[in-house]
C-alpha cells in the first residue's frame, strides 16, 4: 500500500454522513423538466449553421481510446471491490510536428451532442482565460450546428444578471460521496444564448457558497465532487453526449469517472477531450479522496501509469489522471504543447505527456470577434476598421488627453496585463525607460495579486509619472483598456512563457502592432516584419527570442525605427494584423475534427 501524502496537499471536507442532506442508497430520481428544451427566452435568436471552409487541424491517425489505454471497472456495485486490471501499455511516441495530423480534410463532421464541464465561464464566473475559452468555443460549436451544453458549479457569487430564465431543471440529483450521497439541485439558464446547467449541492460543506471561486484549502474535494456530480447528472437525466469536453485539473477526474464507473452504466459511447490551460496547478491530493469519490482501489489509482504523481510518493495528481484517461488532450497553442512536453515547462508532467504523445497536441485559442471589434466598440472615441484605419488616431488623441500625455508625433507603446513574473516584468520595466529615452511614449495598465509587486510598480509610478511621455495605471479599467488597445501604436508582450496569450490577439484586432517574445502562443500568432519565413502580407509584428534586455531593446528599436523612417511599412503591418483571422472560426473547426476522430474509437 502506498504511503499517504502529507496533509499539505489539501484538507478534506466532512463526510456525506455529516452533511445536511444524506441518502445512503441510490434512488432513481424524477426528471422535473425537459432539460434545455423550450426554456429559452422568447427573443432567443435562431442559431444558423455557418458555411465554413474546412480548416486543417492535425489529429493523429492512430491515437488510442482509453478503452484500450486505461483500466476499466467491472459493472456492479459502485463502491465495491473490483478486479485488478493490468497496467496499460505505453503507446509509441510520435514526432511533435505530427501531434495533430489532420485526418479529416475531406470529410464532413456531423452534428454532435457536446457537453463542456468547466469550473468557470465568462461572464458569469470568470477568473482567467479559461472562462473566455469556454464562452467563445461553445458559441462557435453551436453556430456550426452542434447541440452544445455547459455544466458549471452554481457559485453564490456568480454574475446572475447574465443568466436568462434561470429555473430548476432537475431536483433530485443524489451524488455518491463517501458512504452516502449528497442531494443536489440542477438549474438551467441561458448565458448569452449558451445552454448552461448549474449544479447546487445541499451540504453543510457549502462547496460553492464561499463568496469566491478558488483559493480554498479543500479545492480538490470541491471540484472532485463537482466532477462526480456532473457525471451523475448526465447519467440520471438521460443525456448521452457524443463528446465530453473538460478543462484543467478541476475536471481531471471526469474521464476517470467515465471509464472506471459510468462506462458500465450507459455512458460507454461518450468520448472525452481534455484541455489544459495551465500546467502549473495540477490538483494534488492524498488517498482519502479515493474514499470520498468511490474509487476504492488505492493500489490501482496510485500506480504511476494512472493518477500516481511522478514526483511525490503517496500523492494523487488529478491533471495526470485527466491526461491518462482522456481520448485526446489539448493545450492552448501548438508551440506551448511542444514546450510543455519537450522543454521542461510541464511542471513534472513531461514524461506523462511523452507517454501519451499520440493523443496530445495544441490548438490555438481564439478571441470573440464580436466582443472585440473596433468597428462597434462603444468604449472608443472613434470606431474604425481596416478600411478606415485613419480613425484609429482619434483614439490616440483621446488616450493622450485622458492620461495627460504630451501631444506629439511619438508612437505610443503599451503593456496591458496581470503584473506577474511570468509576464517578464523585468523586461517591462526596462522597456519603459528604453522607450521614453528613444523617441516613444509608454503606457502601462495592470495590477498584481502580489502586494510586493504592486508596491514596486506604485513606487515606479511615483518616480516617473510626471514625465509627459509616460503613464502607469496600477489597477484595471475595462474602458481604459479598450482605449489603450485602440489608441496605442504598439503592444509589448515580453513573457517568459505564455501558453496562448490574448493581449497580442486583441491588439492585432485593433491594428496595434505587437512586439513579443517568441514563446508559446506568441510564437504561433506574431510573425516578424524582417525575419519571418511567412509571406510579406502575413507579417504582423516584431519578435525577439532572448529573455534579456538586449533582446527586448533590439525588437523595440526596430519597431520605433520603422514607425519613423518607413511609415508605409508600418501601416502595412497594422493592416496585416487587422486582416488576420484569430477568431474562434479556425479553432472551432480544429476541435470538431478532433471530436469526430475520437468518437469513432
**Residue whose C-alpha cell reads 437525466 in the numeric block:** 237
Sign for the CA dihedral angle at 264, 265, 269, 270 comes to negative
Whether the Cβ atoms of residue 433 and residue 463 lie closer than 8 Å to each other: no
Those residues with Cβ within 8 angstroms of residue 297's Cβ, 6 or more apart along the chain or in another chain: 81, 82, 84, 290
Report the chain's C-alpha Rg in angstroms: 25
Virtual torsion, Cα 327, 333, 334, 339, nearest 10 deg: -100
Those residues with Cβ within 8 angstroms of residue 384's Cβ, 6 or more apart along the chain or in another chain: 374, 375, 390, 391, 392, 486, 511
Nine cell digits for residue 50: 455557418
Those residues with Cβ within 8 angstroms of residue 536's Cβ, 6 or more apart along the chain or in another chain: none
Burial 245-270 (b: 16+ CB within 10 A, else e): bbbbbbbbbbbbbbbbbbbeeebeeb
Please enumerate, by residue number, every residue annotated as part of a binding site for ADP-alpha-D-glucose: 126
Please enumerate, by residue number, every residue annotated as part of a binding site: 126
What are the angstrom distances between the C-alpha of 221 and each of 97, 217, 278, 301? 37, 9, 19, 17
Distance CA 173, CA 154 (A): 14
**Residue whose C-alpha cell reads 510586493 in the numeric block:** 452
What does DSSP say about strands 284-285 and 164-177: parallel, antiparallel, or unpaired?
unpaired
Other beta carbons within 10 Å of 220: 26
- Give the DSSP H/E element, type plus range, for residue 338: helix 334-342
Other beta carbons within 10 Å of 306: 21
Distance CA 257, CA 161 (A): 33
C-alpha triplet 347, 274, 360: angle, nearest 5° = 65
Those residues with Cβ within 8 angstroms of residue 388's Cβ, 6 or more apart along the chain or in another chain: none
Distance CA 553, CA 561 (A): 12
Distance CA 260, CA 247 (A): 19
Nine cell digits for residue 218: 479543500
245 SS3 class: strand
Amino acid at each position: 500500500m502506498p504511503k499517504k501524502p502529507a496533509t499539505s496537499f489539501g484538507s478534506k471536507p466532512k463526510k456525506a454522513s455529516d452533511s445536511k442532506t444524506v441518502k445512503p442508497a441510490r434512488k432513481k430520481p424524477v426528471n422535473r423538466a425537459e432539460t434545455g428544451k423550450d426554456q429559452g427566452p422568447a427573443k432567443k435568436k435562431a442559431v444558423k449553421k455557418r458555411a465554413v471552409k474546412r480548416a486543417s487541424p492535425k489529429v493523429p491517425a492512430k491515437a488510442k481510446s482509453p478503452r484500450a489505454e486505461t483500466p476499466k471497472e467491472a459493472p456492479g456495485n459502485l463502491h465495491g471491490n473490483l478486479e485488478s486490471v493490468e497496467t496499460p501499455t505505453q503507446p509509441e511516441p510520435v514526432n511533435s510536428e505530427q501531434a495533430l495530423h489532420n485526418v479529416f480534410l475531406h470529410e464532413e463532421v456531423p452534428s454532435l451532442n457536446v457537453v463542456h464541464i468547466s469550473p468557470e465561464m465568462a461572464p458569469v464566473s470568470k477568473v482567467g482565460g479559461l472562462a473566455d475559452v469556454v464562452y467563445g468555443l461553445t458559441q462557435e460549436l453551436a453556430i456550426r450546428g452542434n447541440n452544445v451544453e455547459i455544466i458549471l458549479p452554481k457559485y453564490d457569487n456568480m454574475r446572475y444578471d447574465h443568466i436568462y430564465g434561470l429555473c430548476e431543471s432537475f431536483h433530485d440529483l443524489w451524488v455518491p460521496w463517501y458512504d452516502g450521497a449528497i442531494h443536489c439541485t440542477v438549474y438551467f439558464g441561458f448565458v448569452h444564448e449558451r445552454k448552461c446547467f448549474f449544479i447546487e449541492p445541499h451540504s453543510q460543506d457549502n462547496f460553492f457558497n464561499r463568496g469566491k471561486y478558488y483559493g480554498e484549502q479543500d479545492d480538490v474535494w470541491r471540484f472532485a465532487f463537482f466532477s462526480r456530480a456532473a457525471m451523475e447528472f448526465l447519467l440520471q437525466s438521460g443525456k448521452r453526449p457524443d463528446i465530453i469536453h473538460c478543462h484543467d485539473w478541476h475536471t481531471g477526474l471526469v474521464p476517470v469517472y467515465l471509464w472506471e464507473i459510468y462506462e458500465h452504466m450507459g455512458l460507454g459511447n461518450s468520448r472525452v477531450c481534455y484541455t489544459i490551460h495551465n500546467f502549473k496547478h495540477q490538483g494534488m491530493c492524498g488517498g482519502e479522496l479515493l474514499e470520498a469519490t468511490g474509487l476504492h482501489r488505492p493500489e490501482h489509482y496510485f500506480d504511476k501509469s494512472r493518477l500516481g504523481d511522478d514526483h511525490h510518493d503517496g500523492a494523487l495528481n488529478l491533471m495526470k489522471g485527466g491526461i491518462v484517461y482522456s481520448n485526446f488532450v489539448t493545450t492552448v497553442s501548438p508551440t506551448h504543447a511542444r514546450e510543455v512536453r519537450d522543454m521542461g515547462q510541464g511542471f513534472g508532467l513531461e514524461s506523462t505527456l511523452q507517454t501519451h504523445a499520440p493523443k496530445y497536441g495544441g490548438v490555438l485559442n481564439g478571441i470573440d470577434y464580436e466582443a472585440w471589434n473596433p468597428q462597434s466598440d462603444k468604449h472608443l472615441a472613434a470606431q474604425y476598421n481596416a478600411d478606415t484605419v485613419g480613425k484609429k488616431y482619434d483614439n490616440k488623441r483621446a488616450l493622450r488627453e485622458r492620461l495627460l500625455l504630451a501631444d506629439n508625433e511619438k508612437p505610443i507603446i503599451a503593456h496591458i496585463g496581470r503584473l506577474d513574473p511570468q509576464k517578464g516584468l523585468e523586461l517591462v520595466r526596462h522597456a519603459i525607460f528604453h522607450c521614453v529615452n528613444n523617441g516613444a511614449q509608454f503606457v502601462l495598465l495592470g495590477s498584481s495579486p502580489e502586494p510586493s509587486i504592486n508596491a514596486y510598480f506604485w513606487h515606479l509610478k511615483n518616480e516617473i509619472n510626471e514625465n509627459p511621455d509616460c503613464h502607469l495605471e496600477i489597477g484595471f479599467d475595462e474602458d481604459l483598456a479598450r482605449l489603450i488597445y485602440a489608441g496605442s501604436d504598439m503592444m509589448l508582450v515580453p513573457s517568459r512563457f505564455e501558453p496562448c496569450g490574448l493581449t497580442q490577439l486583441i491588439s492585432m484586432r485593433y491594428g496595434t502592432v505587437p512586439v513579443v517574445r517568441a514563446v508559446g502562443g506568441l510564437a504561433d500568432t506574431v510573425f516578424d516584419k524582417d525575419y519571418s519565413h511567412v509571406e510579406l502580407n502575413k507579417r504582423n509584428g516584431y519578435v525577439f527570442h532572448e529573455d534579456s534586455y538586449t533582446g527586448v531593446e533590439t525588437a523595440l528599436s526596430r519597431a520605433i525605427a520603422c514607425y519613423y523612417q518607413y511609415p508605409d511599412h508600418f501601416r502595412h503591418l497594422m493592416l496585416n494584423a487587422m486582416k488576420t483571422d484569430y477568431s474562434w472560426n479556425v479553432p472551432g473547426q480544429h476541435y470538431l475534427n478532433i471530436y469526430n476522430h475520437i468518437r469513432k474509437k
